[in-house]
Amino acid sequence: MISKEIIERTVVSQQKLFHRLPGMVSRDLLPDIPLSVSHAVIVSGIRRCGKSTLLLQLTQKIKTVHYFNFDDSRIQGFDASDFNRLDTVLLEMKPETDYYFFDEIQLIDQWEVFVRTLLDRQKKVYITGSNASMLSRELGTRLTGRNLQYELFPFSFAEYLKFKNAKPEIASFERFFQEGGIPEFLMFPDIKVLQGLVSDILFRDIIVRHNIRNHEGLQALTNYLLSNVGKEFSYTKLKSAFGISSVNTIISFVKFLEDSYLLFAIPKFEYSLKKQAVNPKKNYAIDSGIINANTLSFTDDLGRILENIVFIQLKRQNFEIFYFKMKKECDFVVSKKGKIVMAIQVCYFFNDDNLQRELNGVVEAIKFFNLEKGLILTYNNTDEFIIDNKQIAVKPVWKWLLESE
């Protein structure tokens, strides 16, 4: 419990800082977010991907809003009993508005009760959060059917071009490949920004919240997964490699990393959910800049970083993503409404040495799923093949990124 005076001072300070946020480029997600709806609007994503700025961009169409960020050390000790005091302070300052914008409200227990009360009073509530599990758990109870959920990712290549005022060409993509799309890093290009982001996630979002004692094990596992994007892993092998006490601990660590949006694990495609659960998974990261800043990358890693960029674009489009492996292997098969609709192979260079291998992987996948065509994405190759009446297009990733917006 904290005093009304502390809440007042914090609100005044936060609102000043909120309206001083850099406007940056208009996010691609912005037109999808409704301005007048009876549901709570939830925007989740990794720390520092621009969620607060997205809220600020929404205010361009709203005269005035209430704003409060719960991830603030000045309100340490804030609990459910303080929500009424906060509401009183907000109403005293701006009685004329019905819009409530909250950052990281899921940090406070029973936040959903307060949000439900606001909705019952016909208020418009917008929430951002950086922990997928903490948000979804409460949304599945008191706010079932009364929320709209969106995910915000770091800048796409198209947003990066707008931010940099750059032309869509291979030279711009080379910079995007190295820098990634975390807005803060693009404004202040110091590698410590991206290293600090990973440290914040590990310590503030995972170690503190889940009372984890094995800091070194979690750090080593995170470094390993960031260094091995696009590679298969099993929980049992990770347990042995890092000397962690149990497989369940490894499963929990990976789940915490996924909840924070730092890493993602995708399954091998199987019609049997039981087989899908026990097969090795593949690991990808949220951003190529984060990979480059927190690992020692070598030439052999370029193809996997390119693959990671393709994966995040598919996530941005709300596909369900699998890898496919039978006699051959295809990097991604993607599902929409329960049906596989696309098979994609990714390789950095496409030449005589790997031509047959890359073609065989995607051809096997499109035949298995009875698709008419497949796609091979490369750093900068363009080509087309017809194999057994199946069309295989070869495109540069940077062009595909702009086409798939």
Overall average pLDDT of the 122-131 stretch: 94
What does the alpha-carbon distance between residue 68 and residue 115 come to, in Å, rounded to a whole number? 13
- Cα-Cα-Cα-Cα dihedral of 50, 54, 56, 57, to 10°? 130
Write the pLDDT tens digit of every residue in 90-100.
999 999 999 99
Write the pLDDT tens digit of every residue in 324-367.
999 999 999 999 999 999 999 999 988 888 899 999 999 999 99
**pLDDT for 144:** 77
Q: At residue 299, does pLDDT exceed 60?
A: no
Q: At residue 245, does pLDDT exceed 90?
A: no
Q: Strands 263-266 and 281-285: what pairing? A: antiparallel
Write the pLDDT tens digit of every residue in 101-116.
999 998 898 999 999 9
Picking from 404, 378, 402, the residue whose alpha carbon sits closest to that of residue 169 is 402
- Sign, CA torsion 78/82/87/90: negative
Say if CB 126 and CB 201 are below 8 A apart.
Answer: no
Overall average pLDDT of the 59-68 stretch: 90
**pLDDT for 351:** 83
**pLDDT for 78:** 96
User: φ, ψ for residue 279 (rounded to 5)?
Assistant: -70, 155
Among left, alpha and beta (phi > 0; psi -120 to 50; other), residue 72 is beta
**pLDDT for 298:** 61
pLDDT band at 284 (very low <50, low <70, confident <90, very high): very high
Overall average pLDDT of the 132-138 stretch: 70
**pLDDT for 360:** 95
- The percent of residues in the chain predicted with pLDDT above 90, rounded, is 84
Q: At residue 274, does pLDDT exceed 60?
A: yes
- The percent of residues in the chain predicted with pLDDT above 70, rounded, is 97
pLDDT band at 61 (very low <50, low <70, confident <90, very high): confident
Q: At residue 23, does pLDDT exceed 70?
A: no
SS3 370: coil
Overall average pLDDT of the 151-174 stretch: 97
Q: At residue 127, does pLDDT exceed 80?
A: yes
- Cα-Cα-Cα-Cα dihedral of 164, 169, 170, 172, to 10°? 0
What does the alpha-carbon distance between residue 281 and residue 133 come to, in Å, rounded to a whole number? 20
Mean pLDDT for all residues in the chain: 93
Q: At residue 141, does pLDDT exceed 60?
A: yes
